[in-house]
Chain A
């Protein structure tokens, strides 16, 4: 799934990515000479370009850059390594009722890792929370749920056609899985990103509320669209298709919250 508004585009595929902060770059060309893959070149106008097909995010250019204009996002870690980090904060979890949230990107896109991590957390007594878009085979989800204490479940649009337009995929599987998760009995919160003009219509919100009630869900989180992710596209050399969209207005979000609350649902704006 590739939502138009994604604010973490670096997580749409699994491998670490190279970030390029053009405003910090002085075009000193240190990076060009050190790149082992020949992925970096100088254009006629002096600007620095990175061929993303050649770049494997090895980080050599990051080390060489004197201006911190290049950085690697993402790290490959084993379950054991992640657990070591988690353990250091265990007292915070004990006192705050917090725990580990697998988020993304989409955590179920790494099913083996997710399962192993949640198993390990569960064994150590850590609370686990799965933040998923639901676009995943039920088998994978079912397995993970065995070790999950809370599910945050994204529903982007209730209308299948519109869903395809916005995310590239149908919502049938997503809704089907939502029903199954609800039946499973694990606490479930439905999350909706509010994208102006995409999914914030009254009809869609009503349909969503009714659907939530049908599933027996009590809690809805609204995530109003923000522009913090826009720069990331530039840094990754990606195109942003929602470029002209402004952040979601606060009072609009409050109004939608009020509409859904009429259905006797608990609504939080995140």
Chain B
């Protein structure tokens, strides 16, 4: 039975069962990829990196085990439900340590043969992987510094890209859906024919030759993979006794024979074509930010045509989208334990909802409504929905958004459309029409679609507080990991201390950027991604891969964690040490060294010092000065010419947990090891006591959101605060006001603390409970206890009457 003839009641059960199975199935390291990877790398020694990458891609797609399950949309990354590939080319040592797999989400039980393959892979990549090469280069540049592990353990440097091979790109779905990959192959072949072989002495000509060869191989590999699914569906149909299921399988066969090679002819084909391209990107390289981009805008014509011609109903379209969501839910990361903690295993597939068209009109259409309804029925943390809010959006659409928020899933998140546009104009100098196409690239960050984006590393903004208090010495390890800016006893005014802090920020930021720049160049050189380049906007025309200048725009994002902790630390020091002289800085430092033990009175005093998020000018002005300072340091530091659009992105995924775990006590009253503050403009947990409008006021004023690449505000509401039309209006008014004041991002948790506490005690009853963590949602019971505690702590807010 084809999707178009499916009845609602029947599908509800089928979808529910599939969802249950996906949620309950363990996540498994699929070693099949390692076999193909090792084969190809052994066979291709001496070939250009891009050809080697294309051959790995082709070998995986041609050889991987495929299956078709109850989902009428086909194709997965691995060979079974929740099977995940691992990418030792980026970093590999962790794969050998069993404890790295040891989270309750992962099932590890390798056969002897598989274990052998893993060890062999590690041996091969140990010194060849990106992480090892980048580290060698960094260490050779900074011989005088403390060793790398010390800096890592102190939370001063984050080996971001080693574990997060996060290059992001938005595939040109509109072109692929409407023209098909065959068209792309034809373009590439024409371009290849024009490469002048007599000019191979010119490096550019030679690299174009390699590029087009690689791209054609990848495009063909994906068409071949679709055809493999078509054959499998046909075979299964032959053996199928149930006539309805047989029809459905034949429909799958027909679809996969047609797309993505040729232009999609209806909504179902468009969805399947979209999914082949997405999965292929995830197979080529693990990573988040393989985003559907403005899905509703390019899918709408297919939907409209089907509706007009009576081929599909609204209900059937929603059912199909539910199946697509489940397909997207089935993709994960497999990362070293600490990185998995930092990332919470989410792959950040965000739909852009709303926004404006190139000519500035409201872009909200029927698909946007369907996506909200799909999520309301399914309630899965991924994919996620991002509303690009502006004042021209339809009122009923915003009320539909609130309906979804009431479920407690934490979606959609709201982004300020006007600021996102201004931001691209500011950073990229693009045209206004291009800027209006800005979309979520991952989590809360945005980019232009024709951009090669990447995650450029993480900066821990709380660390410089520790360093400024300790003359550049790390209190944990006792090693010198920052410049000597004077001991705690040497500062006679707040400004003197602030100056030392400024120097430490400057140092940490520059060193972190250096390290990440090395990582990026190593990846660009050794691990180009020909498939993603083939389906990206300008690469085919330019004959260059994404990282080598194929994309019209480049950007990168330095994630930042600990900003609120730095601000609150500065406020406590200013108030207690210099304004009120209640304690000397030297004494404060000693108390922090002792982790407040035996000094509970001083800890209380620190906790009572002004805290960000209460609309208190004293600390809010410190916050603004701090964020302006960080931006100025960034702008004043040497520039990565290959990533001109690179920006600071103050949101932390779950890195605040990692850095918090690695750091000592802070003047905020926070003890050692406790997570830092989650969002960049959120309040330290439990310290925003003046209600939602006060928090929104502080958050909106904290930084210039146009200059910064993003920011991040969490608010948690008891469901009762959103009851009725009145409650919805209050929330919409809050969002509108926050945006108008200059806020950029806001998201809501709408669940009671009681529910969350009960879920800790009885996780078995709450397997499907979804909460908002930091720029994304996750299944609550799978989260680390520390994260669970933090979500409970985030102050429960309720609108006053």
A92 B733 Cβ-Cβ under 8 A: yes
B737 A88 Cβ-Cβ under 8 A: no
A66 CA to B607 CA, complexed, in Å: 12
- Decide if the interface of chain A is mainly helix, strand, loop or mixed: helix
Chain B residues contacting A23 (CB-CB under 8 Å) are none
Q: A270 within 8 Å of B by Cβ?
A: yes
Chain A residues contacting B693 (CB-CB under 8 Å) are 89, 92
Q: A110 within 8 Å of B by Cβ?
A: no
B601 A66 Cβ-Cβ under 8 A: yes
Report the count of interface residues on A (CB-CB < 8 A): 9
Q: B136 within 8 Å of A by Cβ?
A: no
Q: Mark A77-105, 1 if CB is under 8 A from B, else 0.
A: 00000000000110110011000000000
B737 A95 Cβ-Cβ under 8 A: yes
Chain B residues contacting A270 (CB-CB under 8 Å) are 801
Chain A residues contacting B624 (CB-CB under 8 Å) are none
Within 8 A of B (CB), among A57-90: 66, 68, 88-89
Specify the chain A residue showing the minimal Cβ separation from B603.
A66
Specify the chain A residue showing the minimal Cβ separation from B733.
A96
B740 A95 Cβ-Cβ under 8 A: yes
Known: A66-B600, A66-B604. A88 touches B697 (CB 8 A): yes
Q: Mark B612-641, 1 if CB is under 8 A from A, else 0.
A: 000100000000000000000000000000
Chain A residues contacting B740 (CB-CB under 8 Å) are 91, 95
Chain A residues contacting B734 (CB-CB under 8 Å) are 92, 96
Chain B residues contacting A92 (CB-CB under 8 Å) are 693, 733-734, 737
Most chain A CB within 10 A, of B693, B730, B741, is at: B693
Known: A66-B600, A66-B604, A270-B801. A91 touches B741 (CB 8 A): yes
Q: Mark B715-748, 1 if CB is under 8 A from A, else 0.
A: 0000000000000011001101100110000000
In whole Å, how far is B760's beta carbon from the nearest beta carbon of chain A?
23
A187 CA to B736 CA, complexed, in Å: 28
> Which of B604, B615, B697, B733 is in CB contact (< 8 Å) with A95?
B733
A66 CA to B740 CA, complexed, in Å: 41
A270 CA to B600 CA, complexed, in Å: 42
Most chain A CB within 10 A, of B730, B736, B737, is at: B737
Within 8 A of B (CB), among A171-227: none
A96 B615 Cβ-Cβ under 8 A: no
Specify the chain A residue showing the minimal Cβ separation from B740.
A91
In whole Å, how far is A220's beta carbon from the nearest beta carbon of chain B?
16
In whole Å, how far is A89's beta carbon from the nearest beta carbon of chain B?
5
A66 CA to B730 CA, complexed, in Å: 38
Specify the chain A residue showing the minimal Cβ separation from B736.
A95
A96 B600 Cβ-Cβ under 8 A: no
Chain B residues contacting A96 (CB-CB under 8 Å) are 729-730, 733-734, 737
Q: List 22 A-B contacts (CB under 8 A).
A: A66-B600, A66-B601, A66-B604, A68-B604, A88-B615, A88-B697, A89-B693, A89-B697, A91-B737, A91-B740, A91-B741, A92-B693, A92-B733, A92-B734, A92-B737, A95-B733, A95-B737, A96-B729, A96-B733, A96-B734, A96-B737, A270-B801
In the A-B complex, the 3 residue pairs with the closest CB atoms: A96-B733, A95-B733, A95-B737
Interface of A toward B, CB cutoff 8 Å: 66, 68, 88-89, 91-92, 95-96, 270
12 A-B pairs besides A91-B740, A92-B737 with CB distance below 8 A are A66-B600, A66-B601, A66-B604, A68-B604, A88-B615, A88-B697, A89-B693, A92-B734, A95-B737, A96-B730, A96-B733, A270-B801
